[in-house]
Chains A and B, each alone.
Chain A
């Protein structure tokens, strides 16, 4: 019986083993890297703040695999996952969190401003909602120049109550821009449950109709579902058929940021969601599709090794050099505002 189900599933498989392993690899690496980031906090090797997306890996991975080279992503301060999902080397990411010279911005940007233009990671924005209009602008450029890239913009449920969200959606729709808005509904803004401060059940999905968009609400913990949804929306945008707004339902396993133990969460909630952990779901999925366990294990082993190598490289890297203090304020590379 089980065998027949497996055979049918494989026959209808629109994703394929290679892509599935890639989805798994990204999720595992994001998870391991973020857990390492957490350990490094505890050792005070990462200072300031940092926002992990433990539990939300399937979204970054699903989009990361669906996006093509040249596509642009716009993330928030909770952007480690999206940054890694675009192929940014782990040491450049961790190095930035540790404010080392090896980091993406050589320690000048910090964890909330991860950027790698080379990989299409067009910045992480720490003012809620600011990047939705900015992603529209990137999409406008693509439309105007006839470039074929799509701009993908990630943000949280809390962001849907800020003006820029509404302005950006209307703007993107009337200009038919190749942009995909991805709301990661992890049920909380910082410490307040989203339902306490939002008049509708699905903060993004329920508003889509107001802007002439389809309501799309999906299981954000299932990388296959995210990957399929992402592929369709990105394809639609690339074909000139305009923007989409996707609400991915998910849950963050840890607090909002480093300082937050997440005590406001009701008893049992985390446990319930741990049952629906994206990595757990996905490992099972690999097995359901007959993918050899040793392939999954190889990915896990390699991920651990990568994290070790990256950590050591970062530890050995000097901190941000002093001369960076006054560079790149203006486009001439300097900071002179007067002669």
Chain B
């Protein structure tokens, strides 16, 4: 067991799989010699060489297109899109090409690849480098969508994503790269489509993803300590596949559901989960399902404005306390 940063977990997760399978190759802008803009790929080039870890031109369509062509014909590429905002530049591959090729060809072609990207806010990069866009990709049939919150999950889910035979969006959170966590030694493999109950509770369920997970945990501690509310915190981890069983199970136990989302309010992933719970667990509910989100705005750069936009522990506590105490 050792302490590892989320950033180093990315490196270890990729390393683990590249060591295991020579068909795993890696490409992106500044990822090889420079080690990535977030330093999340440092050492891979030195370890695996220029044939397996490749710098590309600033050509997001070519990066994803080439990853797809290689995946269709036998490799298992990992492609980095530097900031998740930039997937808009190559959205054709994410929305039209990769996820549909299996269906359109009646199963003749598979597309096993991972798109890693720096998602989310909290580092004052402004409106075009801070968005949380996991819901952009969640709605596409044929694509899997993962967003880990801790170093151990990064490694395990990365391994699962690389070994999966589908295209997988792997959203790393920029503001989590420096955070640390305990990670066991040896190979780590997780399972896509499994949510994790991080804090057991009886009064309400808080569902969170990525950066919102530590904030939800912090909020749960305050709720217990100061307000006598015992919240269960569930890390969704994977939006597609979605672990509906764990979510419904938790709601059945607590009778209350709060989602904490970083994405802007309209059609965030919490809306889908709220709909599923309303549909399938209505009689388990003791109150309304409440979504805590960023307002429906692009993100500002100024520290205090960005902080004002994102859900934080205080705001989560405040909202839950008011709803629970009705």
A interface list, Cβ under 8 A from B: 72, 74, 104-106, 108-109, 113, 115-117, 122-123, 125, 127, 130-142, 144-145, 151, 163-164, 167-168, 170-171, 174-175, 324, 327-333, 335-339
Contacts and interface: CB of A to CB of B under 8 A. Distances in A.
B74 interface: yes
Contact of B107 (A127, A142, A333): A333
B274 interface: no
A336 B135 CA distance: 18
A339 B195 CA distance: 11
B57 A174 contact: yes
Q: Name the prevailing secondary structure of the B interface residues.
A: mixed
Given A139-B69, A331-B110, A337 B102 contact: no
A167 B62 contact: yes
17 contacts: A74-B69, A105-B108, A115-B104, A127-B96, A130-B96, A134-B65, A134-B72, A135-B69, A136-B69, A138-B70, A140-B75, A151-B69, A163-B61, A164-B92, A337-B241, A338-B193, A338-B276
B16 interface: no
Nearest to B89: A163
B75 A141 contact: yes
Interface residues of B, number: 53
A171 B66 contact: yes
Contact of B102 (A133, A331, A339): A331
Nearest to A328: B107
B241 A122 contact: no
Nearest to B101: A123
B106 A145 contact: no
Contacts of B63: 133
Interface in B87-127: 92-93, 96-97, 101-110, 112
Most chain A CB inside 10 Å of its own CB: which residue of B60, B61, B67, B112: B61
A201 B112 CA distance: 40
Given A133-B61, A167-B62, A144 B25 contact: yes
Interface stretch (B175-183, B202-210, B242-250, B314-322): B242-250
Contacts of A168: 61-62, 65
A205 B221 CA distance: 66
A140 B62 contact: no
Interface of B: 25, 51-52, 54, 56-57, 59-75, 77, 92-93, 96-97, 101-110, 112, 141-142, 144, 164-166, 193, 240-245, 276
Contacts of B142: 329-330
A74 B97 CA distance: 13
A115 B108 contact: yes
Contacts of A131: 65
B108 A116 contact: yes
Contacts of A130: 65, 92-93, 96-97
Contacts of B56: 171
B242 A337 contact: yes
Contacts of A330: 102, 142, 144, 166
Contacts of A139: 69
A148 B144 CA distance: 32
Contacts of B107: 327-328, 333
